[in-house]
Structure 1
Amino acid sequence: MPFADKLVIDGYVLEVDVHFNGKTQLEIIATGMIDLDSGFIDAIFVDPQYMGLGAGKEMLAYLERLAVEAGLSLLKLESTLNAAAFYRKCGFEGDEVSVYQSPRGFNLNCIVMCKKLT
């Protein structure tokens, strides 16, 4: 299934109002997905112009609330190497490096991480 189709079915977006030329429109600034059966978080992306402003943290907090409401006790994800520090600040732990094999044909080193929910 193409990523965009999967996002429409299983994903969430964070939108903000953008004002341009006297018009207001919604713009997607972050995405995220969670499998509420396994607790696996995936596809957290933030538009680069909104990085460092809390959009990723807000998306992750929203996905965690959904997990708690679904009765999950553990979240899992595979972090890109450059995002691991962000996830650690959000309470995730893990150092094991794995290789993510994209359906698009590329491999990406990732860190397997998890977070216990209370």
Structure 2
Amino acid sequence: MSVDAPAISRTIIKSLRKSNAQDYSSDIIDQVAQSFSPAAILHLLTQRQVLVAVVDNHIVATASLDQDVVRSVFVDPNYQGKGIGRRLMERIQLIAKNAGLNLLRVPSSITAEGFYASLGYKKVRDEFHGSERTIIMAKTLDL
């Protein structure tokens, strides 16, 4: 999986720059992108359960589970709207259920709020990190 870190990084940064740019300033995008360098991804791989979706031997999406928090769900803009993100989230939820979790939380971007809402996540509150708005959402899992 560590050899995948550069590809995971590229997928995330491409998604940030194309999809999230409609809701966030370029300064915020640049700041968030720094958190997803290949080195940062390598570190995250040791701390979280990281999933990827592969099409034609290329990583096109990723999602991770950090205890009871879903993190870093990104789909390459060329593959958005094809159900890949939904399938990754279904797999994350299955992993969480199998671990005995009954509640998942997700810090959502403004851009992804509708996606998570379509999966049954409800807004809990807004958080602000400087001028970056994150929507904290949660979903109860059926055990």
- Based on CA coordinates, which of the two structures has the bigger radius of gyration? 1
TM-score normalised according to structure 2 size = 0.66
CA distance in 2, matches of 1:50, 1:79: 19
1:29 paired residue number: 60
TM-score normalised according to structure 1 size = 0.79
Structure 1 portions without partners, runs of 5+: 18-25, 102-106
Structure 1 contact 40–76 (Cα < 8 Å) conserved: yes
1:12 partnered with 2:54: no
Give 1:116 deviation, angstroms: 0.1
Percent identity (aligned): 30
Structure 2 contact 106–136 (Cα < 8 Å) conserved: yes
Give 1:99 deviation, angstroms: 1.8
Structure 2 contact 51–62 (Cα < 8 Å) conserved: yes
Give 1:95 deviation, angstroms: 5.1
Structure 1 contact 7–33 (Cα < 8 Å) conserved: no
CA distance in 2, matches of 1:6, 1:116: 29
Q: What code does the residue aligned with 1:4 have?
A: I
CA displacement, residues 41-69 of structure 1 (integer Å, 9 cap, x when unaligned): 10000001001111111111110000000
In terms of fraction of residues, the more strand-rich structure is 1
Give 1:4 deviation, angstroms: 1.4
CA distance in 2, matches of 1:72, 1:86: 22
CA displacement, residues 56-113 of structure 1 (integer Å, 9 cap, x when unaligned): 1111111000000000000001100111011000010015211247xxxxx5211110
4+ residue stretches of structure 1 with deviation over 4 A? Answer: none
Distance change in 2, residues 1:95/1:8 (3 Å): closer
Aligned length: 103
CA distance in 2, matches of 1:61, 1:12: 11
1:110 paired residue number: 134
CA distance in 2, matches of 1:100, 1:64: 27
Two-structure CA RMSD over aligned residues (Å): 1.8
2:107 paired residue number: 78
